[in-house]
Structure 1
Amino acid sequence: MARLNTLLFLIVVALSVVALIDCLLTDRSRLRAFPRGAWVVLVLLCPIAGPIAWFRAGRATSAADVHVTPAPRGPIGPDDDPEFVRMLAESIRNR
């Protein structure tokens, strides 16, 4: 019985360590549901439910789950706007 308890304890510790390392190394854009600090606390305080929750709901596993900031739609600066560059070139030629 002692061997079984030791084995179960080592499995729980290993699961918690792997979940904690994975949580700390996961990119911020792939976190879901809670911020990183909350996940770390959950994994440390709930050694069985915390890692299971992290692997099931804490990180995005597919590209559809990742929150991506959309690219700006218009030109960022005046030199990125082709119409402005064309108008500027014409005004320099007309001097």
Structure 2
Amino acid sequence: MARVNMLIFLVVVALSVVALIDCLVTDRTRLRSFPRAAWIVLILLCPLAGAVAWFRAGRATSSRDVHLPRGPIGPEDDPDFVRALADALREK
């Protein structure tokens, strides 16, 4: 019985360590639900539940889950800017 308990303990520790490392190296844009500090606290205080929650709901697993900034990123992505630039070039 002691071997089974030791095996379960090692699996929980390994799962928690992997979840903690994954949480630390995950890009900020791929975090979901909570900020990184809250996930770290959850994983450390509730090793099994925190690790499972991290892998199920903490990180975006596909590109559609990633929260990208809304609106144009650069000037060439803004249709109004491109239109104004084209109008300025035509006027010259």
TM-score band w.r.t. shorter chain? 0.7 to 0.9
1:84 aligns with 2:88: yes
Aligned-pair identity (%): 64
**Which residue pairs with 2:43 in the alignment?**
43
Q: Which runs of 5+ in 1 are unaligned?
A: 91-95
Per-residue CA deviation, residues 19-70 of structure 1 (Å, 9 max, x unaligned), is 0000001110110000000000000000110000000000011111111113
When the two structures are superposed, what TM-score results if normalisation uses the length of structure 2?
A: 0.84
2:22 maps to a residue whose letter is D
Larger gyration radius, structure 1 or structure 2: 1
More helix by share: 2
Number of residue pairs aligned between Structure 1 and Structure 2: 85
Q: Which runs of 5+ in 2 are unaligned?
A: 73-77
Q: Alpha-carbon deviation of 1:86?
A: 3.5
1:75 aligns with 2:81: yes
Superposed CA RMSD: 1.6
When the two structures are superposed, what TM-score results if normalisation uses the length of structure 1?
A: 0.81
3-state SS of paired residue (1:6): helix
